[in-house]
Amino acid sequence: LEAPVRMSGEVVKGFGRGSKVLGIPTANLPHDALKQLPRSFETGIYFGWATVDGVGPYKMVTSVGWNPQFANTSMTVEPHLLHSFPDDFYGSSIKIVIVGHLRAEAKFESLESLIDEIHLDISSAGELLDCEPYSFLRSA
C-alpha cells in the first residue's frame, strides 16, 4: 500500500451471508464507494481505522473483493470493526482509512477454516494497529 486509502459512505445491507451469525459482522459500503479506490488497488484483506457517525476511530479489518453472488462482476468493501456495538448501524455514515495489507483473497476448504483465518486476520490487525506507523494513522 503506497498511501492510506480513504473511503466513506452509508452502511448498506449486504446479502446476509450470515457473517453476524458467525460473530463477524461486516458493515458494507455502498457500491458507489468503489469509485474512491485508486485504479490500481488490488483485491485482498486490509486493515485500518473506521469511524461511525464521527465516533471512533475503531480498528477495522476489511475485505475488498469480488462478490461471488454477483457472478464476479461486482466488488464489495466490507469492514469488520474491532468493537462491540450494542445495535446495528445500517444507514450510518462510515468512514474508513485503509493503512495496510494483510493477505490476498483466498478460497477455503471449509467454512470453519475460513472463520479461523478471519480470526487470525482480526488479531493480526489488532496488533499491527497498535504499532507505528499504523497507530499514528488513526487520525489520518
Residues in touch with Mg ion (CB under 5 A): 14, 26, 28, 78
Burial class (CB in 10 A: 0-12, 13-18, 19+), 96: buried
CB of 135 to Mg ion, least distance (A): 26
Q: Which of 46, 7, 60 is nearest to 30 (CA)?
A: 7
Q: CB-wise, 28 or 62, nearer to Mg ion? A: 28
Q: Which three cell numbers stand for residue 60?
A: 477495522
Q: Which residues in 3-32 contact ligand ADP (CB under 6 A)? A: 11, 13-17, 19-20, 25-28
Task: Identify whether 132 is a catalytic site residue.
Answer: no
Strand pairing partners for 52? Answer: 55, 94
Binding region for ligand ADP (CB under 6 A): 11, 13-17, 19-20, 25-28, 80-81, 83, 85, 88-90
